[in-house]
């Protein structure tokens, strides 16, 4: 396998416990071997025999290198949009009230069911391209707007297909327990019954990497969520949960008891919930786009999460209802301004901790032996990535060792 050398750069490795903030290595060198990082460190310490084996050399012209960004919570594949609902909300109708009137998620379910796979792929590919253009190399995509075997399958197949056609790694999550579809109106338990064989089929078809649910008073109860998680556990699939977004439903404790990879949203997280997550090693995925777009006022308990040393990830939550957002860089900025993340916490939130939220140990930091997914930025300091609003300083990105 041929080796490539990357020099004339500073590297923010994001390695945990590094002596320097951001794991920063000034004047770094990086050696890739195929899809993997073979060596990274200070250029002066690069072993000469390794350097001699490098067939290609890339001059990064002073760029800052970070791990490829990871968007660990998206609902990227959907039909239609909710611009009219946005107008309603601006006139004072709440997100929950719209959902109760049959709008909200249900309206996107209608549009998603009506769309062909090709149409869904076309609209989703545009959103995905916007994320890739900001250095995203891994994305999680949830189902949850199909809500029947046929339409959940269609959405998950579109997600897989996007991952085959674009230079990005797609991880899929089954979110059948997102809302009760119209054909099960008033029968949410019967709908949950139907999810169990649905999950089995989709998993057998290789379409599911993890399982999620919306545990909320306008979603599913803790008991219903537990049944979905039992089905996931029987199939050996990891779980994650939309928890405590609009109220404290005890979802975090429940998810932690299943060893969940992550709990997401968490504005209403309690002390007990945070302690349970810390104990289980569950990542907190915070979603400032949804907080902003729904004009929420209850902040996630950042100090509680820090005290319990719960790893914090950040994501776009890209979806048509609560976060129609395709900029992960904007989330860095919003996490700092709205949630009081430090820029270093924010960058760890879209790299190291986002990888952890997906259960992926082979990426999220720059280190020997890990995937050669990284981004080259036209910035002098990593804090600049969280600082700018609406700028895109990406110069290039590398996916599995190849410039894209
Ligand atoms: N919470 C969210 O923020 C998204 N899903 C969820 O369970 C929003 C989904 C939507 O409004 O379409
Ligand atoms: Fe979400």
Q: Which residues surround ligand 2, an ion (CB under 5 A)?
A: 317
Dist. CA 29–CA 340, nearest whole Å: 33
- Distance of alpha carbon 272 from its chain centroid, rounded? 25
Nearest residue by C-alpha to atom 10 in ligand 1: 321
> What pLDDT, on a 0 to 100 scale, did the predictor assign at position 115?
98
Dihedral sign computed on CA atoms, order 334, 340, 343, 346 = negative
The closest-lying atom of ligand 1 relative to the alpha carbon of residue 104 is: 11
Q: Determine contact, residues 314/331, Cβ cutoff 8 Å.
A: yes
Nearest residue by C-alpha to atom 6 in ligand 1: 214
Q: In a structure prediction context, what are the per-residue pLDDT tens digits for the chain, which is 404 residues long? A: 789 999 999 999 999 999 999 999 999 999 999 999 999 999 999 999 999 999 999 999 999 999 999 999 999 999 999 999 999 999 999 988 998 888 999 999 999 999 999 999 999 999 999 999 999 999 999 999 999 999 999 999 999 999 999 999 999 999 999 999 999 999 999 999 999 999 999 999 999 999 999 999 889 999 999 999 999 999 999 999 999 999 999 999 999 999 999 999 999 999 999 999 999 999 999 999 999 999 999 999 999 999 999 999 999 999 999 999 999 999 999 999 999 999 999 999 999 999 999 999 999 999 999 999 999 999 999 999 999 999 999 999 999 999 99
Q: Determine contact, residues 5/56, Cβ cutoff 8 Å.
A: yes
> What pLDDT, on a 0 to 100 scale, did the predictor assign at position 218?
86
Dist. CA 96–CA 228, nearest whole Å: 23
Which DSSP string do the residues of 65-83 spell out, in sequence order?
EEEPEEE-------SS--H
Q: Which residues line ligand 1 (CB under 6 A)?
A: 104-105, 108, 178, 214, 242, 245, 290, 317, 319-322
Q: What is the 145 CA–ligand 2 centroid distance (Å)?
A: 12
Give, for ligand 1, the residue of 80, 214, 323 to mutate: max count of ligand atoms closer than 8 Å to Cβ: 214
Residue 308, C-beta contacts closer than 8 angstroms, at least 6 positions apart: 274, 275, 277, 278
Distances (CA, A) of 226 to 105, 231, 254: 22, 9, 7
Nearest residue by C-alpha to atom 3 in ligand 1: 322
**Which tokens sit at 253?**
């404790």
């Amino acid at each position: 396998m041929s080796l490539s050398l990357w020099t004339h750069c500073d590297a923010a490795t994001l390695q945990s416990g590094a002596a320097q903030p951001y794991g920063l290595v000034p004047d770094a060198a990086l050696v890739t071997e195929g899809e993997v990082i073979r060596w990274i460190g200070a250029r002066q310490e690069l072993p000469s025999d390794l350097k001699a084996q490098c067939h290609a050399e890339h001059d990064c012209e002073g760029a800052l290198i970070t791990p490829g960004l990871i968007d660990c919570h998206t609902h990227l594949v959907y039909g239609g949009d909710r611009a009219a609902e946005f107008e309603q909300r601006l006139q004072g109708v709440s997100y929950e009230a719209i959902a109760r009137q049959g709008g909200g998620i249900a309206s996107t379910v209608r549009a998603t069911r009506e769309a062909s796979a090709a149409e869904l792929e076309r609209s989703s590919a545009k959103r995905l391209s916007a994320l890739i253009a900001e250095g995203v190399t891994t994305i999680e995509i949830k189902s949850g707007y199909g809500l029947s075997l046929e339409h959940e399958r269609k959405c998950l197949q579109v997600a897989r297909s996007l991952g085959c056609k674009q230079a990005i790694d797609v991880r899929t999550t089954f979110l059948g327990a997102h809302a009760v579809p119209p054909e099960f109106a008033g029968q949410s338990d019967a709908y949950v019954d139907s999810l169990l064989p649905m999950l089995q089929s989709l998993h057998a078809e290789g379409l599911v990497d993890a399982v999620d649910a919306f545990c909320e008073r306008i979603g599913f109860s803790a008991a219903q969520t537990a049944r979905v998680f039992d089905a996931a556990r029987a199939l050996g699939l990891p779980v994650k949960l939309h928890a405590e977004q609009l109220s404290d439903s005890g979802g975090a404790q429940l998810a932690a008891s299943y060893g969940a990879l992550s709990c997401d949203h968490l504005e209403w997280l309690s002390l007990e919930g945070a302690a349970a997550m810390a104990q289980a090693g569950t990542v907190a995925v915070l979603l400032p786009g949804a907080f902003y777009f729904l004009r929420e006022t209850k902040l996630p308990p950042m100090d509680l999460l820090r005290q319990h040393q719960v790893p914090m990830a950040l994501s776009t939550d890209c979806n048509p209802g609560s976060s129609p957002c395709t900029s992960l860089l904007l989330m860095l900025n919003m996490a700092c301004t709205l949630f009081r993340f430090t820029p270093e916490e924010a960058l760890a939130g879209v790299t190291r901790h986002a990888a952890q939220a997906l259960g992926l140990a082979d990426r999220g930091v720059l280190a020997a032996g890990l995937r050669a997914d990284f981004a080259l930025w036209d910035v002098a300091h990593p804090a600049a990535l969280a600082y700018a609003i609406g700028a895109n300083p990406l110069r290039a990105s590398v996916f599995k060792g190849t410039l894209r």
